[in-house]
Chain A
């Protein structure tokens, strides 16, 4: 049972980090295209 809890926490951790990285990536790309259009 304890093992399954750890595996679950591990999966949730990765999923959460992946979502954060994705939203960051979108943010970087948006700010990059905004800078390009301003130039």
Chain B
């Protein structure tokens, strides 16, 4: 490991941090207003739920395929470029005068994430080996969350500056067109990163000898748990739709609330991630971190009742809680996979997890959107039912983890 490759790796991490920052400004900014924008274009809650669910499903499901092909072809930069270029769908939303076209762009944005994520993660994972895995990922995550807060705030500010009280399609389109600027900056950063390190594999040392193994019982129970708790986790697009449809928040307030959720997400991710590590260390057991997972369904069960209420205070609490749970999804839900899968099966483990996560988001969002149009109570009860089932599965998972740890001891 020499100083030159360490410097190269550090530069690459900083550049990918900036790419994440610009990327999050674009797509988190868009996600904060896609619900109200679709409403302005005349879509109902069922359609909004279906569009968001389909986008998320493809966003996670396709990762399995794009990961396989990026590994097979080793064309990691090509997949990264192409995936990031698909982010042009966000500023293109400014040209969508009908909800069908807007829906196509929403799905396209998620597809782009699916195309680039496995390839980008591979490039980054090779670079972080030089500077320390925890530090490297934390650096990118911090810049990522800065973008996730700034993006919605830009939209909130632009909508606030517009003098008309009732926002029209034009106000939203003006906001979307602003994202051309971070889009081009992002492409420049990706290009510079490629020019600096065209072959990132050189940054990683010799790989460890592979150990043959298979996926455990805990892995499958864990997937059932994440499936249920993700299916019962209300998507922000529906929350935004509800806030606008019931006149609970003004148009500029909706992306501002999303920015608050993203800030809470960043803080919660750090706390929950640290707690996960502390549990593992305290119990001297790799699987002990799984106990922290109970936080997800226990907190998520309140979100639909609070978010779909007509009370301002309850909405504020729901947004904070939503951000905290999202922080848990992004940290412990993903890092747990590394602890419960053998190295040789890790790629497959992440692939199965992503597909199941995508299907869960699709089913949950489409179902709540459909139920919301008929009865808000039924939609909330359905989400709570998923979380209650997840709690039951958690206790099965816990007993299996204890058994497995005992077996290995």
Contacts and interface: CB of A to CB of B under 8 A. Distances in A.
A binds B: yes
Interface of A: 10, 13-14, 17-18, 20-22, 24-25, 28-29
Contacts of A10: 298
A36 B376 CA distance: 19
B309 interface: yes
B98 to A, nearest CB: 27
A17 B302 contact: yes
A12 B306 CA distance: 14
Nearest to B246: A28
A25 B377 contact: yes
Interface residues of B, number: 15
Contact of A14 (B301, B308, B309): B301
A20 B80 CA distance: 47
A20 B376 contact: no
Interface string B373-396: 001110011001000000000000
Given A10-B298, A24-B310, A17 B377 contact: no
B302 A13 contact: yes
B81 interface: no
B312 to A, nearest CB: 14
B279 to A, nearest CB: 17
A18 B309 CA distance: 10
B376 A28 contact: yes
Contact of B376 (A13, A14, A17, A25): A25
B380 A21 contact: yes
Nearest to A10: B298
